[in-house]
Structures are given as structure tokens and as C-alpha cells.
Amino acid sequence: MQRSEPPSASFFGAPERRTGPIAVFKGLLPFIWPQDRPDLKRRVVVAGVILLAAKVITVATPLAYKAAVDWLTGSATGPDAGIGFAGLALVPVMLIFAYGVGRVLMMGFTQIRDVLFTRVGQNAVRNVSNQVFVHLHALSLRFHLERKTGGLSRVVERGRTAVELIIRMGMLNSIPTVVELAMVLGITAYFFGWLFSLIIAVTLVFYIWFSVWASEWRIAIRREMNDSDTEANTKAIDSLLNYETVKYFGNEGWEAGRFNLSMLRYERAAVRTYTSLAVLNTGQTLIYTIGLTICMLLAARGVVNGTHTVGDFVMINAMLIQLYLPLNFLGMIYRELRQGLVDIEAMFELLGQQPEVEDIPGARPLIVSQGHIRFEDVHFSYDPARQILKGVDFEVPAGKMVAIVGPSGAGKSTISRLLFRFYETTSGRVLIDGQDIAEVTQDSLRAALGMVPQDTVLFNDSIEYNIRYGRPSATDEEVREAARMAQIDGFIQMLPGGYGSMVGERGLKLSGGEKQRVAIARTILKSPPILMLDEATSALDSFTENQIQAALQQVSQNRTTLVIAHRLSTIIHADEILVLDAGRIVERGRHDELLQRQGLYAGMWARQREADDIERRARELSGDPLVDRTLTIEPIPAE
């Protein structure tokens, strides 16, 4: 099947071309210069102009400093402009003021630039982050089953920070800094001759060479620190998500030890990182100081020989010290850029992940007229070495209920995943109203399906939010009606926060049955034409199960319903029951028909009745008042 390129990856180009600084800048350029945001483009232009003006003022400021010193030392030529402030000549007073104004303008322009560019940078970071988020949701179920949540969140967080750093420092400051260096070399050659410019140029070459060499050396250390940080965060998140399991086995010390080992590795890498940074900074300062000292010695010799003034001496000192800031900044840009590339490379790897399931070019929306489902000779395997489904062939007529039962590992849940197209079939087709689901858009397919899963995981938000998730545009009354149909409205009303009560991480504040009923209410609210119930009442006690079966029976009326069942008593009214074993349908028929055949289904039914009898006798002995009610409630007959 032909695959289409995911939009998230196309912003950054092919994965193998995203490793260098030029590739990163090129990939980020559309976010800095967005075609649909002329206001942001204007901000970029104005910020660039202001920054260049700040650089011109920065280079010109030492000239005013030189002129003022020459006037004060009597080295200046020309008539005296009169006596000014406190006996000083008016000209040096003006030059000193010019020097002060220049420094204020230099700082002011820099701050204005930051204010203007902040919106551009933050807009770019938001769009990049959103693109990564969308791409993660586009990836296949297999990726999310294998991912480590803590490590993934760390990768995205570091990548987002690196994008902000590269945009703010690299793309806005690099070119103006290079312009400033060129201006300094030109002014030095004009006032002091080519020898001074040559010394400064050689100093710059050695400075940049050392910065590049040291930064490359630090990359491996930085990568090790990132890996250990990701590992530590993964273990911490995984341990906290499994808090109850840790407590059940009393393994707090074991978990702390595992986390501490990862943090120890991080600690060592962090120490090496900051030690290498000290070496880098010291080497940069040493190289630049040598060049500065040589220029100062030559300028001092010129003052003694009368070829230079004291103002020249002061000017070369001020200019080179002032030059150190952008030069150090340029070195920092490269260093941070290289570190940012390390941080961002893992995020680029995520963007390079291709979804296993994608809409084909020209995919059409699914049109559900009746809701007829057909599996045609479907084969599927997660791993080629282990076949899961082996020629499954069945139909779910429109408006009917078909149940799938079978032992664990038979492939029941795989059928639901194929119906939702979380995976592509190895061979065979899945049709809805005659339309191959591989040829329709995934959004339209899933909009037509409703799911109550076996393992219900809720968002860490309110009960109302989790129910409304089935249809965000639903009214409050519709949300409450769905809750009433799912037999959970009374429980919610008793909570202090009512529908605004928080359910906790993954719904841990609710019991299994309560979570399941929230999931059922959510699906009821969605009101899809096709229902998929995957062990929908597996987490409920017998009494609650019978209550919810009534709600499910009501909501499934006039809807095509596919049920994956563990408790056979919940599906005895199904229009057809499919018995799946080892990836094949070995029996099919209604409940009574399958019992008469004395096959696999009849054996499963007998074992379940025996287990129910044991549970009933245990309740009778314990005096459980629910036992009478659970025995008198009969399954709802099929209509």
C-alpha cells in the first residue's frame, strides 16, 4: 500500500539530512519567517535593523572614548571650543556624553530587539512543539505500546528548549556578530595598520578553532548526560505510575536504588560537563588575552614613539575588550548550538518515525448508511514468527449484535484493533457497508465507532471532562443523561465535587467499576452507529454488571454491536456468538445452539457456571445481602 509523507516530518526534511547546523536552521526557517504571519515578518525585519544599529553604535563608542582622552591629554588638534563644565573643554564634555549615550543606546536597542523578537521566537517554539505533539498522535499503536513515557517527555522537553535556544541565539545574533567583527577589523586597520588587524584576525582564528575543538569534545559528554537524565526520568515516572505495585511488594528501597544509580551516572556526566566547560572558558580567555596583550604592547610602543596617541592606546583596549563580548557570545552560540543539536537530535528521530498506518492518497470519508461489518479472510500477526489471526471470516449485520468469545490469547482484542485500524491486516479486508476501511480516512472511520475498552484509563481531570470527551460539544444535560444511562449519575451526585470531582492520574481515584461506567457513559454520549465493547463489564460485580447490561442493551439498540466477552452470561442474548481459538473461528451460532453442540463454548459455559456457583456459595456463607439480588436478576432477552 502506498504511504503518504506525514506533515510533521516534511517541515524538517528527511531524517538523515537533519544533523548539521545548516540543516537545523533551514528546517526552522519556516517557523521564523511564517508565510501566513506578515506581522511576525515585520518584527523580524525591525529587530534585525535595530540589532545592526546597536552593533554600529557598539563599534563607534570607543571612537568617542579615544577622542575624549586625546582632548584631555592634549593630543587633540584644532581650536579649543571654550571652557565648559568644571573647567573642562566643551568638546571632551560632549564626547564623554556621546560615549555615555552610545552605551545607553547600545543596551536600549538590544532590549528593544529582545522585546520585538520574543513573540516571533515563542510563536516558533509553540508551532514546533505542536507539530511534535501532532506527530506523536499520528504514530502507530505499536510505537506507543513500546514507548517509555518518562523518557519520551524528557526528549520532547529538551528538544523544545533547544529549538528556543537555536532560534533566539543562533538565528538572530550570529549574522550581526559577524558584521561587528568585520567592522572592528576594518576600523583597526584604518587607525592602527594591517599588523594590528592581522594579530586580531589570527587571535580570532585560534579562538574559533579552540572553541570548535572543545565543543566537539564536550558533545560526547553532553550526550551521556542526556542519556542518563532520560533514563533517570523514565525510571522515576514508571515507578510513580506503578505506586501501588511498589507498595504491594515493599520495594521502595529497590526503586530508590535503581533511581539513585541513574542519578549517579547523571551526576558524573554533569561534573564532567561543567569541568569541560571550565576548560573551554579558560582556554578562550587565554587565547584572547594573548592577542589583546600583544596589541596593547604595540599600541604602548606607538605612544612612546609618537606614532600613536594615548587615546589610541585607550581605544584599542576598549575596542578589544568590547570585542570580547560578541566574540565570546559567538563562541557560546556555537557551543550552545552544538549542545542544542544533541538535545534536538532525539526529537528529530521522533519526527523521523513513520506511522505504520496512514491514509492513502485520495482517501475518502467513510459513509455509514447501515453499519454492516464484514471481515473477509483476515490474516494478521504482530510478529511474522507468530501468527495471531488465521483466515478470520465473519459478518456483523446492520443493527445486530455479534459476540466474540474464546480463551486468552485467541486474538479477540486484535479484532477490535484491526476494526479501528490501529494496525493493517497482513492479508484480507475489513469492510463497513462495503467500503474497505484501508481506503477511507482514519478520522471518519473512528468517528463512526464507539469503544468501551477492557482497561479503562481516564484523563487526570474531572468526571465531567472524561464523560464529555465522547462529544466535546455536548450540553451539560446530555452529559448527565449519559451518566444516568451508564448507572453512575447517583454515585457522582454523592461526591463532594459532583461532576467536577477529579479522577486522578489514569483515574486511580475511582474503582474499576466506576471507571468502566465513566467509559460507558463517554461512549453513550458519542452515540456512534457502530459499538465495540471489549470486556465492557469485566471490572464490575455481578449486581452492577446486570444494571449496566440494561444500559448497554438500550444504547446498542438499532446499532451494529461487536462484543468481546469474558463473562458468557453477558452475551447470551447476542444474535450470533463466534468462538475464537488460536486465531480461527471454530464455532458460531446462538447461545442455545452452541450449548447443544457440546463443544468449546459449552465447556467454557460449564466452567463459568461452576465458578459462579462457588462465588454464590461464598457470598451466602458471608451473609452478603447482594447474593439474593444477583441471583434473581435475569439477563435481558433479545428483542
Q: How far apart are CA 241 and CA 223, in angstroms?
A: 27
Residue 258 near residue 235 (C-beta atoms within 8 A):
yes
C-alpha cell at 394: 465473519
* Sheet order of strands, 373-380 included: 389-396, 373-380, 427-432, 435-436
| Matching residue, cell 581650536 | 79
Examine the domain organization and report whether 227 and 334 are in the same domain. Answer: yes
The answer to whether residue 467 sits within a structural domain is: no
DSSP state of 363: P
* Alpha-carbon distances of 564 from 176, 335, 568, 569, rounded to whole Å: 65, 57, 10, 12
Burial (CB count <10 Å: 0-12, 13-18, 19+), residue 526:
middle
Examine the domain organization and report whether 431 and 284 are in the same domain. Answer: no
The answer to whether residue 523 sits within a structural domain is: no
Query: Would residue 288 be called left, alpha or beta, if left means φ above 0 and alpha means ψ between -120 and 50 degrees?
Result: alpha
Burial (CB count <10 Å: 0-12, 13-18, 19+), residue 603:
exposed
pLDDT, block means (10 residues), the chain with 639 residues: 37 44 68 78 80 76 73 56 45 65 73 76 80 78 68 71 72 70 81 84 86 78 77 78 68 82 85 83 86 86 82 79 71 67 70 80 89 91 83 89 85 87 88 91 88 80 88 89 85 88 79 82 87 70 64 74 83 88 89 89 85 69 50 32
* Final residue of a structural domain among 352, 381, 416: 352
Residue 408 near residue 582 (C-beta atoms within 8 A):
no
Residue 389, strand partner residues: 380
Burial (CB count <10 Å: 0-12, 13-18, 19+), residue 250:
exposed
Q: In the prediction, which pLDDT does 245 show?
A: 67
Examine the domain organization and report whether 306 and 421 are in the same domain. Answer: no
Examine the domain organization and report whether 304 and 433 are in the same domain. Answer: no
Examine the domain organization and report whether 405 and 290 are in the same domain. Answer: no
Examine the domain organization and report whether 421 and 305 are in the same domain. Answer: no
Residue 133 near residue 159 (C-beta atoms within 8 A):
no
C-alpha cell at 314: 585607550
* Final residue of a structural domain among 320, 352, 384: 352
Residue 564, strand partner residues: 404, 534
DSSP state of 354: P
Exposure class string for 114-132: b at 16+ Cβ within 10 A, else e: eebbeebbebbbebbbebb
Contacts of 517 (CB under 8 A, 6+ apart): 486, 487, 488, 491, 540, 544, 548
The answer to whether residue 474 sits within a structural domain is: no
Residue 454 near residue 447 (C-beta atoms within 8 A):
no
Q: How far apart are CA 182 and CA 501, in angstroms?
A: 64
Q: How far apart are CA 396 and CA 402, in angstroms?
A: 6
Examine the domain organization and report whether 21 and 80 are in the same domain. Answer: yes
Q: In the prediction, which pLDDT does 375 show?
A: 93
**DSSP three-state, residue 378:** strand
Helix axes 172-192, 252-305, angle to 10 degrees: 20
DSSP state of 170: I
Q: What share of the chain is helix, strand, coil (3-state, %, to 5)?
A: 65, 10, 25
State the amino acid at position 158 in one-letter form. R
Q: Give me the domain span that covers residue 611.
A: 373-448+528-632
The answer to whether residue 364 sits within a structural domain is: no
Number of structural domains the chain divides into: 2
Examine the domain organization and report whether 439 and 318 are in the same domain. Answer: no
The answer to whether residue 503 sits within a structural domain is: no
Helices marked H in 499-539: 512-526
Q: How far apart are CA 337 and CA 379, in angstroms?
A: 49
Q: How far apart are CA 109 and CA 324, in angstroms?
A: 19
* Final residue of a structural domain among 322, 352, 382: 352
Examine the domain organization and report whether 265 and 384 are in the same domain. Answer: no
DSSP state of 386: B
Q: How far apart are CA 319 and CA 282, in angstroms?
A: 21
The answer to whether residue 323 sits within a structural domain is: yes
Examine the domain organization and report whether 143 and 112 are in the same domain. Answer: yes
Instruction: For residue 416, give the CATH number of its domain.
Output: 3.40.50.300
Rg (CA), the chain: 36
Residue 431 near residue 376 (C-beta atoms within 8 A):
yes
DSSP state of 455: S
Burial (CB count <10 Å: 0-12, 13-18, 19+), residue 225:
buried
Residue 449 near residue 420 (C-beta atoms within 8 A):
yes
Q: Quote the Cα angle for 601-607-608, to 5°.
A: 90
Q: How far apart are CA 365 and CA 433, in angstroms?
A: 13
Q: Is the dihedral of CA 223, 226, 232, 234 positive or negative?
A: negative
Q: How far apart are CA 639 and CA 623, in angstroms?
A: 36
Residue 531, strand partner residues: 450, 561
Q: In the prediction, which pLDDT does 639 show?
A: 32
State the amino acid at position 195 in one-letter form. L
DSSP state of 426: S
Instruction: For residue 135, give the CATH number of its domain.
Output: 1.20.1560.10
The answer to whether residue 583 sits within a structural domain is: yes
Burial (CB count <10 Å: 0-12, 13-18, 19+), residue 104:
exposed
Residue 603 near residue 428 (C-beta atoms within 8 A):
no
C-alpha cell at 39: 506581522
The answer to whether residue 71 sits within a structural domain is: yes
Examine the domain organization and report whether 443 and 559 are in the same domain. Answer: yes
Exposure class string for 471-495: b at 16+ Cβ within 10 A, else e: beebeeebbbbbbebbbbbebbeee
Examine the domain organization and report whether 272 and 177 are in the same domain. Answer: yes
Residue 45 near residue 120 (C-beta atoms within 8 A):
no
C-alpha cell at 195: 599588523
Cβ neighbours, 10 Å, residue 607: 11
Q: How far apart are CA 59 and CA 177, in angstroms?
A: 11
Cβ neighbours, 10 Å, residue 396: 25
C-alpha cell at 552: 448497554
